[in-house]
Amino acid sequence: MDAYLDPANVEKTIRSIIAWLRGDVFIVATAVQLAIVIIAFIPAHFVSSPLENVLEKIIAASWADKIRAKLRQIIRPIVQPLVWLIVMAAASFAAQRFGLHFGILAIGTSLLTAWIVIRVAINFIADPWWSRAMALFVWTVAALDIVNLLDPTVAFLDAFAIDVGEAHISLLGVIKMLIALIGFLWIANALSRTVEKRLGKISHLTPSQQVLFGKLTRVVLIGTAILVAINSVGIDLTALAVFSGAVGLGVGFGLQKVVSNLISGVILLMDRSVKPGDVIAINDTYGWINAIGARYVSVITRDGIEHLIPNEELISRPVENWSYSNRMVRQRLPIGVSYSSDIKKAIMLAEQAAAEFERIKPQPEPKCLLKGFGDSSVDLELRIWIEDAEKGLSNIKSDIYLRIWDLFHENGIEFPYPHRDIQVKGTIPVRIEHE
């Protein structure tokens, strides 16, 4: 440490830095390149606004509203730096052609290219973590290119390699495969979402068929993306035979439930026994199906609780589907009136109360029946039909009961009170002893 702080060494270091600045920085060529970088911004500044207007007219005339908004979001921020980049690239090419220095121009071109790539990529990457990862990767590549270390770094990564049979797997190849895999998977997911949206607009397909075709499309596209990514880095696809055998062994020993749920999900979508929007009851769960996934069915109850039921459960257990072939559901409401009331009038008022609610179907019409004679009441039963069970049953029953309560009190129909007649047939002698 003392040797480094020696005045002679310090003076030598300072002189070398000054010599580098005089020989490589404070020279006419560097000043000219910096001037070109600044001057190149002037046409970019004045041309960008008219160019944005032209592109706006092209976008407005050629695309739908959602695509138009996305294109505006992508194109507007990069028009000016893109024109600036084109001017600088042309100047750099001219300088290279005439044998002039163009190092500063190359650095500016690399930085502008990295910034444009990051700006465009951020519009397609919603996740903040992936956005930061993408930005870090692009800036790293740009920095290595600026300091002329990109090619040595690539060669260094390619040197770390192993040979598996005929396959040559290097660290560089793995990085390329990961980049290609991420890119192709993103494209596959974007295409599958587009296909699912298009399928949702096809009216002659049932909801189950729409989900089935959407899932199959997603599986095919993701599988194709993985194979293309692997093949794009030079890995022979026949090498996957060993991997597929390992997967088969894993399925045989520990993934039976996972595979069973996957196959059950396909069966549910194909036979359409349940579909999104159906109202079902299984075990102690009652609710409407929100979505059918590859492994489970999402059922939302009236309490707002979302139950994730494995697909295998819906195949192997009895399921009540209240909307399988018909959404009409009949509900029974027991009513008791006192023996002193007008029974026919009570029946009429009960049917009138049910007919006042829009959720109650007029056909079949509400019907109130006399069910029997109880100990304390005449037992009636009001039967109603609804076709929106997913909106709840207890709430409509409560509304009807409240309306019946009002109508019965307005028309003198009495609700019964439990009563018992006690007859005393004799006395029981009581013996009292005195001490």
Confidence of residue 17 (pLDDT cuts 50, 70, 90): low
How large is the average pLDDT for residues 74-99?
76
pTM of the model: 0.44
Indicate if the pLDDT at residue 380 is higher than 80.
yes
Q: What are the backbone angles phi and psi of residue 329, rounded to the nearest 5°?
A: -130, 130
pLDDT for position 262: 76
The more confidently predicted of residues 363 and 62 is 363
Task: Dump the DSSP string for 218-279.
Answer: HHHHHHHHHHHHHHHTT--GGGHHHHHHHHHHHHHHH-HHHHHHHHHHHHHHHH-SS-TT-E
Residue range 343-375, pLDDT digits in tens:
999 999 999 999 989 889 888 899 999 999 988
Domains delineated in the chain: 7-148 (no CATH), 168-254 (no CATH), 262-321 (2.30.30.60), 329-410 (3.30.70.100)
pLDDT-derived band at 180 (thresholds 50, 70, 90) equals confident
> Is the pLDDT confidence value at 432 over 60?
no
By DSSP bridging, strand 161-164 and strand 279-282 are unpaired
φ, ψ (nearest 5 deg) of residue 91: -65, -40
Out of 101-105, 250-254, 318-322, pick the least confident. Answer: 250-254
pLDDT at 435 over 60: no
Q: What is the pLDDT of residues 63-75, one digit of tens each?
A: 556 666 666 667 7
* Residue that the structure tokens 């598996």 belong to: 164
How many Å apart are CA 216 and CA 129, to the nearest integer?
A: 29
Non-local (6+) Cβ contacts of 161 within 8 A are 168, 169, 170, 171, 173
Phi, psi values for residue 391, rounded to 5°: -85, -5
**For the chain, what percent of residues have pLDDT higher than 90?**
10
Which residue would you say has higher pLDDT here, 290 or 28? Answer: 290
349 and 394 Cβ atoms separated by less than 8 Å: no
135 or 298, greater pLDDT: 298
- Between 182 and 400, name the one with better pLDDT: 400
| Dihedral angle of Cα 351, 355, 356, 362, to the nearest 10 degrees | 180
Inform me whether the pLDDT recorded for 222 exceeds 70.
Answer: yes
Backbone angles phi, psi at 167, to 5 degrees: -85, 135
For residue 242, the model assigns a pLDDT of 57
**Least confident stretch, 264-278, 316-330, 421-435:** 421-435
> What tens digit of pLDDT does each residue of 252-298 get?
555 677 777 777 777 777 667 788 878 888 887 888 888 887 788 88
Given a cut of 80, whether residue 118 has pLDDT beyond it is no
Q: What is the pLDDT of residue 2?
A: 47
Here the tokens at position 233 are: 């880095």
| pLDDT at 331 exceeding the cut of 80 | yes
Instruction: Give the pLDDT confidence score for residue 67 in this predicted structure.
Output: 63
Mean pLDDT, all residues of the chain: 75
Q: How many CB atoms lie within 10 A of CB 259?
A: 12
User: Is the pLDDT confidence value at 160 over 50?
Assistant: yes
Do 311 and 265 meet the contact criterion of CB atoms below 8 Å apart? yes
pLDDT over 60 at 239, yes or no = no
